[in-house]
Structure 1
C-alpha cells in the first residue's frame, strides 16, 4: 500500500521560501507602524510611543513564533505544541500573503496552491489522530463521474450502477469495505451543507488545486487531507483519481478499533450516505 501523498521537496522549499518572506514583510510593516508615528505620539503622551512599541514587539514576536513553529512542524514532520494553531495561521494569514507576494514575484498561483496543499497535508498528518469510520468523510467532486452518465449521484451515491467507466465504483468499494461516509459535491455550497449534515471529524477530499485550497480554507478548523485529482481531458471533465492514494490516506486516519469485520460491513456504521 502506498503512503499518503505528502509534500514534494520542491513544493516544500517554495512554501518555506514564500512564508519566510511573508513573515519578514509582516515584521517590517509592524516596525513601520511604530516608526512612522514615532514623533507625533509624543504629543499624546510621553509614554505613548513606548506602549505602541511594546505592542508592536509583541505582535512581531507572535508572528515569528508562529513562523518558527510552522517551520519546525514542516521540517520535523511531527506534532509540536500549538500545531493546530500553526495550521490556522497558515490558512488565514500566511496563504493570502504568500499569494500576493508570489504574484509580485511572478510565481505561478497554481504552484503556490500546490505547495500549500502539500504542507497542509503534512500538518494534518502531524496533528490528526484516528477516527471511527462514521467520523470520516470521503468528499469527491462531481467531475469524477463519467460525463456521459445520466445517473444523479449528488443526492444518492447508491444510484451508481458501478459500471467501472469512472472512479466512483472504486470509491464505493472503499465505502463498503471501510464503512466511511462517501459524498459527491457539485460545488462549495453543497460541500459545506454535506459537512454540516454529517459533522465528520476528518475529511479526505479529492479535487483540483483551486477547489482543494478553497475547501481547506472554508472548513477550517476541521482537518482536510487533500488528494489531487488527475485531469487527462482538462479541468472539470472526466477526471480521475489514484484510488491507492485515497485508500492509503484512509488507512492512516481510520481507527483500527473500528476496522471492518467483513467486506461491506463495518462496526458502528450504516449504509451509504444519502443527501
Structure 2
C-alpha cells in the first residue's frame, strides 16, 4: 500500500487540480447549462465556453492540494495499523475527509463558476462582488452541504476503484504502475463514479443557480431530487450525464495523470 509524503501530495494535487479544470472547462460549461433551470440555450448555448474560468484558475489548485494532503496524511497514519483487506475502507474514509476539507475552497469557486457559466453574470469578478453584496459570505457557500453530499458518494466509488485498479495492474506486471497507467485507472474510476452520482450533481447545480429567495435555494437534497423526479422524470435527474461522464473520465485521466507524473518527478 503506497503512501506519499505531505509536501509531494500538496504539490502534485495542486498541479493535478489546475490541469484538469483548465483542460475540461468547456465540457463542464455545457454540463452546467444542460442542468440549469433556464435550459441549455437560454443559459448561453455554445457561447462563452470559458466563462467563469478565472474563478477556477484561482481556486482549483488549493482545493485539490487540500484534498490530497488530507487523503495521503490519513493513509500514512493508518496504513501501518490495518490489513490489506481493510485498505478499501481506509481509502473511503480518507477520500470522504479529503472532500469535506477541500469543499471549503471548492464550493465558493463552484458558485462563482457556475453562475458565470450559466450566463447570469458577465465575469467571475462581477459574480463574486454581487454575491457578497447581496448574500454575504454565506452566499459563496450556498450548496456546501449539497456538494458534500454529492462528493462523498463520488469519492466512495472513485478512490477505492482507482487504488484497486492500480494495485491489480501493479500485481499483474510485478511493478508499480506508470503515470499513464495510473491515469487510465483514474479515467475508468471517474467515469463509473460520475454515472452513479449524476442526480446529486443535478441537485447541486439547481441549488447553486437558484434565485436567493426561491425554495430551491434552501432545498435539501432528497426533497429536491424527488421534486425533480416528479416534474422532469428520470431524464431530468440524469440531465447532463453524457458530458459529465465524458468530462469526468477525461478529467480522471488528466487529473490522476498529472498527479502521478508530478509525484514521479518529485519522489
Do Structure 1 and Structure 2 share a fold, with TM-score over 0.5? no
Instruction: Indicate the structure with greater helix content.
Output: 2
TM-score bracket, normalised by the shorter chain, equals: under 0.3
Look at both structures and tell me which one has the larger radius of gyration over its CA atoms.
1
Q: What TM-score do the two structures reach when normalised by structure 1?
A: 0.23
Instruction: Indicate the structure with greater strand content.
Output: 1
